Amino acid sequence: MEIYVVRSGDSLYSIARRFSASMEALIYANQLQNPDVLSVGQALIIPGNETRHTVRRGETLYTIARNYGVSLQRLIAANPEISDPSRIYPGQVITIPAGGENMGEIIVNGYVTDAPDSTLTATLPYLTFLSPFSYRADLQGNLTPTFNVNTGLSAARRVANLMTVTNLREQGGFSSEIAHAIFTDQTVQDTFLGNVETALARGGYYGVNVDFEYVYPFDRQSYNQFLRRLTDRMHTLGYIVVTALAPKVSDSQQGLLYSAHDYAFHGATADYVILMTYEWGYTYGPAMAVAPLNMVRRVLNYATDVIPAGKILMGVPNYGYNWTLPFVQGSAARSISSVNAVTLAGREGVNIQFDQTAQAPFFRYTDDNGRQHEVWFEDARSLQAKYGLVAEYRLGGISFWNLNTLFRTNFLVLESMYSVEKVL
């Protein structure tokens, strides 16, 4: 796999000829919605040369992967049409992905709220864990599932489902009061833990993913005590525990989002911690990269000092934002997928720029009403830079928010650098 940045005068045809690639392969790999329109500065993935193999009697995907020197995970991912990897037949033609440098095996988690089966089918080969979002807790410790995800698809792709629990209100937004009740009221906590245990068993989950946000600062120790009790109980039952933490740069960092998240305690207690290293650029803030690399580094510099690096899953955004300029406090940016962002740049006829400090692409345009816009998103270059931090800091892996929409670039870059660990 190579990354090519479009230059003035390029066309998809000329790029395909330059790299001896088919235009169809380029369109597929980059999800080009309008292949006739490319933007200067647009990053394109150039797929490596693939091999076609006709299955012989007695062969399995495992033996084929071994013979070609590729991981079983990469072979399964390259053949999404194979619904059951344990069943292939003589005469079947499968795709052998091109080889490349591999920096090791990592854990990959993906949150989803409402993903169609087609998106899940394309995504699951690249995941260790799928975290449907979420079971919403209330003030009495009851749980309500709010996701629309076919978790039954996971087994064939050897993906373990995690039960995600949150302190989200029914009307939206995280509730400090719900978290406080669960942490401090013994009756509520007992009810909550009983409901978690029941849902885990019924749903066939591998473990629980705790995403409690906007916790009162004075509940820090109560959260720790709750986490200890939860983890002891889950481990006794054979489940793992994962927690999601705000992106802190020091233990003393103040704020409702940060104070109660005790990095050292979570790192010592949970099996994995997800660092939510995104939302610097956010809906109600000024235009900037969602996950600027320099800011992500600051979080990792602190986190790896107090949490075993192998337990850390670095958050990766699967979205961008479109801001209207000038920024006015209280105004809201619109979420946009990276695929749609590139399409928008082409439609508006503007160049895509790349911020070297943030390691992220962006562009500006003027709409039909004369309003200026600034769009930040992810591309192959920004993802390659982020994934490089996993090896640099020796992290356990990454966690996507969220995988409701397919961005194939995420996975093509990922598989060019790492293999995905499977726990099933």
Pair (69, 200) in one structural domain: no
Tokens (6 digits) for 396: 């356990």
Range of the domain at 78: 2-96
Measured in degrees and rounded to the nearest 5, phi and psi for residue 129 equal -125, 140
**Which pLDDT tens digits describe the chain residue by residue (424 residues)?**
889 999 999 999 999 999 888 999 999 999 999 999 999 999 999 987 667 889 989 999 988 887 776 778 778 888 888 988 889 999 999 988 876 557 899 999 999 999 999 999 999 999 999 999 999 999 999 999 999 999 999 998 999 999 999 999 999 999 999 999 999 999 999 999 999 999 999 999 999 999 999 999 999 999 999 999 999 999 999 999 999 999 999 999 999 999 999 999 999 999 999 999 999 999 999 999 999 999 999 999 999 999 999 999 999 999 999 999 999 999 999 999 999 999 999 999 999 999 999 999 999 999 999 999 999 999 999 999 999 999 999 999 999 999 999 999 999 999 889 999 999 9
d(CA 305, CA 268): 12
Q: Is 213 tagged catalytic?
A: yes
Pair (30, 119) in one structural domain: no
> Is 178 inside any structural domain?
yes
Buried b (16+ CB within 10 A) or exposed e, 19-32: bebeeebbeebbbb
Domain count, the chain: 2
Pair (192, 210) in one structural domain: yes
Helix axis angle, 220-237 relative to 186-203, nearest 10°? 40
Name the residue among 216, 167, 205 with its Cα closest to residue 189: 167
> Is 369 inside any structural domain?
no
Radius of gyration of the chain (CA): 22
Domain containing 205 — which CATH number?
3.20.20.80
d(CA 181, CA 395): 33
Q: Is 329 helix (H, G, I), strand (E, B) or coil?
A: coil
d(CA 213, CA 223): 11
> Is 368 inside any structural domain?
no
d(CA 188, CA 279): 32
Measured in degrees and rounded to the nearest 5, phi and psi for residue 342 equal -65, -40
Catalytic choice (177, 213, 378, 421):
213
